[in-house]
Chain A
Amino acid sequence: MNRAKILTKSLWVYHVAGATCNNCDIEILDCLTPRFDAERFGIKLVGSIRHADLLLVAGIQNRKNAPRLKELYSMAPKPVAVMAFGNCAASQGMFAQSYNRSLPVDQIIPVDIYVPGCPPRPEAILDAALKLIKKLRGE
Chain B
Amino acid sequence: MVIQYIFYFLIFPGFLFILAAGLMVSWAERKLTARLQWRQGPPLLQPFYDLQKLFIKETLLPVNAYHSIYILMPLLAFSGMLLAGTWLGLLQFRLSGGFPGDVIALVYILTIPSMAVVFAGASSGNPLAALGSSREMKLMLAYELVFWVSLCIPVIKSGGLLGVDSIIAYQSENRPVLYSFSGLIGFMLALVCIHAKMGKVPFDIAEAETEIAAGAYIDYSGFLLGMFKMTQVMALVVLPLLLLEVFWGGANLLKYALVLLLIILLENTNPRLKITQVMRLFWFYLLPVGILGIFLALNGL
A47 touches B57 (CB 8 A): no
B41 touches A51 (CB 8 A): no
Residues in A whose Cβ lies below 8 Å from that of B299:
none
A51 touches B221 (CB 8 A): yes
B37 touches A34 (CB 8 A): yes
Smallest CB separation, B58 vs chain A (Å): 4
Given the complex of chains A and B, what is the CA–CA distance between A34 and B35 in angstroms?
Answer: 9
- Contacts A34-B38, A50-B220 hold; do A77 and B58 have CB atoms under 8 A apart? yes
Residue A46 lies at the interface, judged by CB distance under 8 Å to chain B: yes
- Contacts A47-B214, A77-B58 hold; do A39 and B42 have CB atoms under 8 A apart? yes
- Contacts A6-B53, A10-B46, A50-B220 hold; do A37 and B40 have CB atoms under 8 A apart? yes
B209 touches A77 (CB 8 A): no
With CB as the reference atom, state the residue of chain A lying closest to B208. A47
Q: Which single member of B42, B209, B221 contacts A47 (CB below 8 Å)?
A: B209
Residue B39 lies at the interface, judged by CB distance under 8 Å to chain A: yes
Residue B222 lies at the interface, judged by CB distance under 8 Å to chain A: yes
B42 touches A42 (CB 8 A): yes
- Contacts A37-B34, A40-B40 hold; do A51 and B49 have CB atoms under 8 A apart? no
- Contacts A6-B52, A9-B49 hold; do A51 and B39 have CB atoms under 8 A apart? no
Smallest CB separation, A90 vs chain B (Å): 27
Given the complex of chains A and B, what is the CA–CA distance between A97 and B50 in angstroms?
Answer: 43
B218 touches A50 (CB 8 A): yes
B58 touches A78 (CB 8 A): yes
Residue A48 lies at the interface, judged by CB distance under 8 Å to chain B: yes
Residue B68 lies at the interface, judged by CB distance under 8 Å to chain A: no
Given the complex of chains A and B, what is the CA–CA distance between A79 and B30 in angstroms?
Answer: 26
With CB as the reference atom, state the residue of chain B lying closest to A7. B53
- Contacts A37-B34, A46-B214 hold; do A9 and B41 have CB atoms under 8 A apart? no
In this complex, how many residues of chain B approach chain A with their Cβ under 8 Å: the count is 30
- Contacts A42-B49, A51-B221 hold; do A77 and B57 have CB atoms under 8 A apart? yes
With CB as the reference atom, state the residue of chain B lying closest to A47. B213
B60 touches A50 (CB 8 A): yes
With CB as the reference atom, state the residue of chain A lying closest to B219. A50
A37 touches B218 (CB 8 A): no
Residues in A whose Cβ lies below 8 Å from that of B220:
50-51
B210 touches A47 (CB 8 A): yes
Residues in A whose Cβ lies below 8 Å from that of B100:
none
Given the complex of chains A and B, what is the CA–CA distance between A10 and B23 in angstroms?
Answer: 15
- Contacts A47-B209, A47-B210, A50-B218 hold; do A7 and B40 have CB atoms under 8 A apart? no
Smallest CB separation, B117 vs chain A (Å): 15
Given the complex of chains A and B, what is the CA–CA distance between A53 and B7 in angstroms?
Answer: 35
Contact mask for chain A residues 35-59; partner B; CB cutoff 8 A; 1 contact, 0 none: 0010110100011101101000000
Residues in B whose Cβ lies below 8 Å from that of A77:
57-60, 221-222
User: Restricting to B58-77, which residues have a CB under 8 Å from any CB of A?
Assistant: 58-60
Residue B225 lies at the interface, judged by CB distance under 8 Å to chain A: yes
B56 touches A7 (CB 8 A): yes
Contact mask for chain B residues 10-22; partner A; CB cutoff 8 A; 1 contact, 0 none: 0000000000000
B221 touches A10 (CB 8 A): no
Residues in A whose Cβ lies below 8 Å from that of B210:
47
A9 touches B53 (CB 8 A): yes
Smallest CB separation, A36 vs chain B (Å): 9
Residue B217 lies at the interface, judged by CB distance under 8 Å to chain A: yes
Ranked 7 nearest A-B pairs via Cβ: A47-B213, A77-B58, A9-B49, A50-B221, A77-B221, A34-B38, A37-B39
| Interface, chain B (partner A; CB < 8 A) | 30, 34, 37-43, 46, 49-50, 52-53, 56-60, 209-210, 213-214, 217-222, 225
New A-B pairs, 6, CB < 8 Å, besides A6-B49, A48-B218: A7-B56, A40-B41, A40-B43, A47-B214, A50-B220, A79-B57
